[in-house]
A and B are shown apart, each in its own frame.
Chain A
Amino acid sequence: MLKFTAEHEWLKLEGDIATVGITSHAAEQLGDLVFVELPEVGAELTKDGNAATVESVKAASDVYCPLDGEVTEINQAIVDDPSLVNSDPQGAAWFFKLKLKNVSDADALLDESAYKELIG
């Protein structure tokens, strides 16, 4: 199941694990990324807290954690090659995997049509 946030993150839910990334819309708005900083595996993140940082030539932007949970895996490939986030934001360029504290919290997030409506 695919969910979205108003802060332009996407989540792919499989059981109690959510794979998190930034949307194509976000990647396009940010422009060419040159640096990505990810959380550490094992980090306990809270909803709307800072989870990662992405930087373009122009500026640094925060990526927020969409739900409470523990980081179980990070995608080193986007740290090594940040341009992957621009070329495949909703596929190969996922950011981290999160073991959700309360899976049911995901119900309150946006579905794809609601997100598309949001970004117009």
Chain B
Amino acid sequence: MDDKTSDHTALKKTPLHALHVSLGAKMVPFAGYDMPVQYPAGVLKEHLQTRAASGLFDVSHMGQVIVKARSGAYEDAALALESLVPVDILGLKEGRQRYGFFTDENGGILDDLMITNRGDHLLVVVNAACKEADIAHMKAHLSGCDVTPLEDRALLALQGPRAEAVLAEFWPDVTDMKFMDVCDASLHDVPCIISRSGYSGEDGFEISVPAESAEQIAKALLEDPHCMPIGLGARDSLRLEAGLCLYGNDIDTDTSPIEAALEWAIQKARRNGGARSGGFPGAGRILDELTNGTSRRRVGLKPEGKAPVRSHAKLYADAEGRREIGEVTSGTFGPSVEGPVAMGYVPTDFAEAGTQVFAEVRGRYLPVAVAALPFITPTYKR
């Protein structure tokens, strides 16, 4: 077996780095940060713990950015950001969050993000690997707005069916929140911004806290016997079972939102005939694809055997590997599914659930069924 050693010296640390090390985490480089890939419990137990009870994730490496119009009006910030994302941000109510993506002139995806109406401004959360580029992109294009990264805050994700009960010990009002609600809260007298959302397919919360209080809050949550620390390994298997895209794997500048089956995130107001149709980069292609479809689609893939099928595995129409039709973009063993799960791109005439295709794994062509996403039943509190 190969031992891979990595240079940890130039890596950035989140405010919870010392806590991860003290909890015995195995640290790996991820998007320029030294991050916990797993704790002593291991990826399998961490995954199952999150589905059965609750898990605490450090996602402080992600970018939290305030977008505020110099006029002070929410509408001006919303309309400005709408010039970069095909999402109805003007129609987003105060205290509500929406998923979206920055598109480029070719209709590809520059990054995906969460967007919140915070009353007089927007709070956006972007991927760690893209955050410098995203901030530069917003600064360059959002004239009339101040784009301010929140450098001094941590972001914790508390996910799982017990997450509400764990958080309610500190803040009883949490039970009033619904999926994609965002509000201010005080945990142990620390001012936090809490959203009821996440990346696991389970009910849960993301908690933005001042960096200096992050460890205190994380430790307090972990004192609950129903909560365990969860690393990036389980974060990936959880999101894949939930059918959620990982930027850089499942979506990138070579995939359009419609190819990626993300049209649900483009509201009526931004589509043809909508109040603010188009007006975002790549609108020509994306609106055309909404009407006319695409030649390929992102689909769920369920390998029929036990062998995991990993990202970059080639997909074929036949068991002999003669006609290549696509590629796996994410693949792993799904601990809750108790078998391999994957997603990838296939031609649209192969995209119907139940269609059999073949994935090349170590020189063999393994049968894989196109499957509906998600692989699990989400427990979002709508």
Contact = CB atoms under 8 A, between A and B. Distances in A.
Given A34-B44, A35-B306, A55 B1 contact: no
Contact of B43 (A37, A53, A58, A61): A58
B37 A32 contact: no
Nearest to A7: B1
A61 B2 contact: yes
Interface residues of A, number: 22
Contacts of A22: 1
Contacts of B29: none
A1 B127 CA distance: 52
A30 B333 CA distance: 14
B329 to A, nearest CB: 16
B38 interface: yes
Contact of B308 (A26, A29, A60): A60
B222 to A, nearest CB: 21
A59 B236 CA distance: 12
Interface string A44-83: 0000000001011111111110000000000000000000
Given A55-B307, A57-B237, A35 B1 contact: no
Contacts, number: 56
Interface residues of B, number: 23
Given A31-B43, A32-B44, A34-B333, A60 B310 contact: yes
Given A30-B1, A62-B1, A62-B2, 20 more contacts: A7-B1, A29-B1, A29-B3, A31-B42, A32-B42, A32-B43, A34-B44, A34-B333, A34-B335, A35-B340, A37-B307, A37-B362, A55-B308, A57-B43, A58-B37, A58-B236, A60-B308, A61-B1, A61-B2, A63-B1
Q: Which 7 A-B pairs have the closest CB atoms?
A: A34-B333, A32-B44, A57-B43, A32-B42, A8-B1, A57-B333, A58-B233
Interface of A: 7-8, 22, 26, 29-32, 34-35, 37, 53, 55-64
